[in-house]
Amino acid sequence: MQKIGVFVCHCGTNIAATVDVKAVAEALGHEPGVVISRDYQYMCSESGQNLVKNAIKEHKLTGIVVCSCSPRMHENTFRKAAASVGLNPYLVEIANIREQCSWIHKDIATATEKAIILGKAAVAKVHLNAPLTAGESPVAKRALVIGGGIAGIQTALDIAEAGFDVDIVEKNPTIGGKMAQIDKTFPTLDCAACILTPKMVEASQNEHITIHSFSEVTDVKGFVGNFTVTIKKKARYVDETKCTGCGLCTEKCPMKKVPNEFNMGLDNRTAIYIPFAQAVPKVATIDPNYCMMLKNGKCGVCSKVCSVGAIDYKQEDRFIEQKYGAIVVATGFNPINLDKYDEFAYNQCPDVVTSLELERLMNAAGPNGGTLLRPSDKTHPHKIVFVQCVGSRCDDSKGKPYCSKICCMYTAKHAMLIREKYPDTEVYVFYIDVRTPGKNFDEFYRRAVEQYNVHYIKGMVGKVTPRSDGKIEVQASDLLADEQLHIDADLVVLAAAIEPDKTARPLATMLTTQMDTNDFFTEAHPKLRPVESATAGIFLSGACQGPKDIPETVAQASAAAAKAIGLLVKNSITCNPCVAHSDELMCNGCSSCEKVCPYGAITYIDKEFRMPDRTTAVRRVASVNPAVCQGCGACTVACPSGAMDLNGFSNSQIMAEVDAICK
């Protein structure tokens, strides 16, 4: 005979304001098998938990139902409480009467009725709950970091510091990411390369870190503690182990007209190239789209000049497979494409540039050796207009609905640096709002206005018209003075919105992690678990989770590393016992479940069965690997014969809930 306890939480007024909790406790007390039904102000508090524990002991309860918040919030709390007094934690059921009831209803009568129904469904289910025991699975003591920008580098360094092996997979020929392209960093104006490149070198020299540059993750299998990842090492046509990075091949390569992506296409590179002087690894890469040898077999200069014989035109993509306990995503961001912003004439005029292009124009390793010159005629610009929020905070389909967060600060930085170096230059900044929260940030912006006399104008630029005399007409509104402005500028700089890297979405599919509508990775909890994804063992680092500046990125990168280390130090982790299993007598071997399983947990085996007529027969039946199964339930729905069932969410339990709701 089942003895079930029901515990209804007020959650302060969160539930009690719209649900008559006493009526719920009273009603559920009459359900079959319920021997005790109580309500309490905060069931998750220590005294609330004690109430539950005492009731379990006193009434020798065989199952409990807690009517409270979402199971994502406190299911674990009550499972632990039950386990501490000897009740199997899987005999605890949560009826969510907060998120799915009190928060979304206004009428007390309706909400109370619904809360009672949800409670009844949980009682009906708990009658059928069976005690489950969680198994254990080992943890592979190695971490994978996807993305080798400042986020990925910091995460890898911190994990390596703790003594674990970590691999960085970077799609470009070098690590360093966007920070390597940036000239100076706010709010201290120190040079980005000076603080980044030592970290890059540290990463390459650390005995625990392996860098797979020019590589991509192509497949992820397994689960927390036990991921199997396939990494594609793209053919760079240069033997990494032989190349010394001397650069002779890049000097001699006759194909010199390849847009240089490191300098945002503002100058050219050769077909065989090392992205920049401090690249890590400092190894040449051949661009097959431009190399004449690879395209039509005529040239071969680089292989002739290479003294160590590192050039290999026949190199092919290689695939390596590695086991990891934890994966950290650090795929970063890109500025958006500005094709749809013709009003700013970005595609019409070379002197309309993005902020990242300006970084290169001002950088000592950039196309002009650090002197700010207009791309069109290499003259010094005397009047510069900055346009903020290009594509950020946009309510139409062209742009992004969010604030890109970093633009206000880097625009202030650009304006200040230009006024400092070229005092004869007039600088205008058009803004919607200036947003500079952060340590020493607002002071920085005020310095640009007050000390450097940058003209900050509230209002947006309506039209940018390039003229044949080289001037750029900027038409804008000054909202505070209520005036239309016409400025004849020499250079226009657009603070383009930032968006997640395009590789993030396919990666999210491989990792079975969630993304928001803007393709930023979703954290497990927006406040309390900001660096974990909802998928166990997958952590988030840097701008792949949302727009971030460098200090924030580094902080999050270290936080993600701490979480990954917390996982790697464990020798084994507790598995989820709510996994699928197959009734072999009912299974007809159709393979439907195998096809829908996203984790590859189902295989087919040939097994001998005794038949009714005392003969034996070999039949093909499904077999679930409980260590791989994540309990998603897809197979139970796909199985045509009803052989697949899920522990803790069996077909009979679900039907009992439905019956209770529909009664």
Partner 1 sequence: METFTYYPGCTLRTKARDLDRYARSSAMALGISLEEPDDWQCCGGAYTTAKDEIATKLSAVRTLNAAKSVNRPLVTVCSACHNVIKQTNYDIIHDDEMASKVNNYLKLDEPYCGETTVYHYLELLRDVIGFDELAKRVVCPFKGKKIAAYYGCLLLRPSKALAMDDPENPSIMEDFIKAIGGTPVIYAQRNECCGGYITLEDKDQAAKRSGVVMRSAADQGADMIITACPLCLYNLKKNSGSELPVYYFTELLAEALGVKEENDE
Interacting residue ranges for partner 1, rule: CB under 8 A: 339-343, 345, 347-348, 398, 463-468, 473
Q: How far is the CB of 468 from partner 1 (least distance, A)?
A: 5
Q: How far is the CB of 630 from partner 1 (least distance, A)?
A: 42
256-259: list long-range contacts, CB under 8 Å, 24+ apart: 258/287, 258/290
Q: What is the DSSP letter of 276?
A: S
The smaller minimum CB distance to partner 1, of residues 352 and 515, is found at 352
The smaller minimum CB distance to partner 1, of residues 249 and 464, is found at 464
The smaller minimum CB distance to partner 1, of residues 190 and 342, is found at 342
Q: How far is the CB of 215 from partner 1 (least distance, A)?
A: 35
The smaller minimum CB distance to partner 1, of residues 464 and 538, is found at 464
The smaller minimum CB distance to partner 1, of residues 343 and 552, is found at 343
Q: How far is the CB of 351 from partner 1 (least distance, A)?
A: 13
Element (H, E) at 661: helix 651-662
Q: Which of 652, 653, 647, 605 is nearest to 630 (CA)?
A: 647
Taking the C-alpha atoms of residue 357 and residue 266, their distance in angstroms, rounded to an integer, is: 8
Q: How far is the CB of 375 from partner 1 (least distance, A)?
A: 17
Q: Could you please report the per-residue DSSP string of 52-98? A: HHHHHHHHT-SEEEEEES-HHHHHHHHHHHHHHTT--GGGEEEEE-I
Q: What is the DSSP letter of 520?
A: P
Taking the C-alpha atoms of residue 294 and residue 300, their distance in angstroms, rounded to an integer, is: 9
Taking the C-alpha atoms of residue 346 and residue 351, their distance in angstroms, rounded to an integer, is: 8
Q: How far is the CB of 493 from partner 1 (least distance, A)?
A: 17
The smaller minimum CB distance to partner 1, of residues 84 and 337, is found at 337
Which residues are CB-neighbours of 288 under 8 A, at least 6 positions away? 235, 237, 294, 295
Sheet holding 92-96, edge to edge: 34-40, 4-9, 63-68, 92-96
Q: How far is the CB of 473 from partner 1 (least distance, A)?
A: 8
Q: How far is the CB of 463 from partner 1 (least distance, A)?
A: 7
Sheet holding 209-212, edge to edge: 209-212, 165-169, 142-146, 326-329, 538-540, 529-533, 523-525
Taking the C-alpha atoms of residue 345 and residue 481, their distance in angstroms, rounded to an integer, is: 26
Q: How far is the CB of 361 from partner 1 (least distance, A)?
A: 22
CB of 145 closer than 8 Å to CB of 156: yes
As a dihedral over the C-alpha atoms of residue 566, residue 568, residue 572, residue 578, rounded to 10 degrees, the angle is 70
Q: Is 286 exposed, middle or buried (0-12, 13-18, 19+ CB in 10 A)?
A: buried
The smaller minimum CB distance to partner 1, of residues 397 and 616, is found at 397
232, two tokens? 């594609």
The backbone torsions φ and ψ at residue 151, rounded to the nearest 5 degrees and listed phi first, read: -65, -50
Q: Is the peptide bond before 437 cis (omega within 30 degrees of 0)?
A: no
Q: How far is the CB of 383 from partner 1 (least distance, A)?
A: 18
Note the Cα 463 to chain centre separation in Å. 36
The smaller minimum CB distance to partner 1, of residues 345 and 628, is found at 345
Q: How far is the CB of 470 from partner 1 (least distance, A)?
A: 11
The smaller minimum CB distance to partner 1, of residues 464 and 507, is found at 464
Q: Which of 175, 127, 316 is nearest to 234 (CA)?
A: 316
Count the Cβ atoms, other than its own, within 10 Å of residue 475. 14
Q: How far is the CB of 342 from partner 1 (least distance, A)?
A: 4
The smaller minimum CB distance to partner 1, of residues 26 and 473, is found at 473
Q: How far is the CB of 346 from partner 1 (least distance, A)?
A: 9
The smaller minimum CB distance to partner 1, of residues 135 and 350, is found at 350
The answer to whether the Cα torsion of 523, 528, 532, 537 is positive or negative is negative
The smaller minimum CB distance to partner 1, of residues 342 and 483, is found at 342
The smaller minimum CB distance to partner 1, of residues 344 and 441, is found at 344
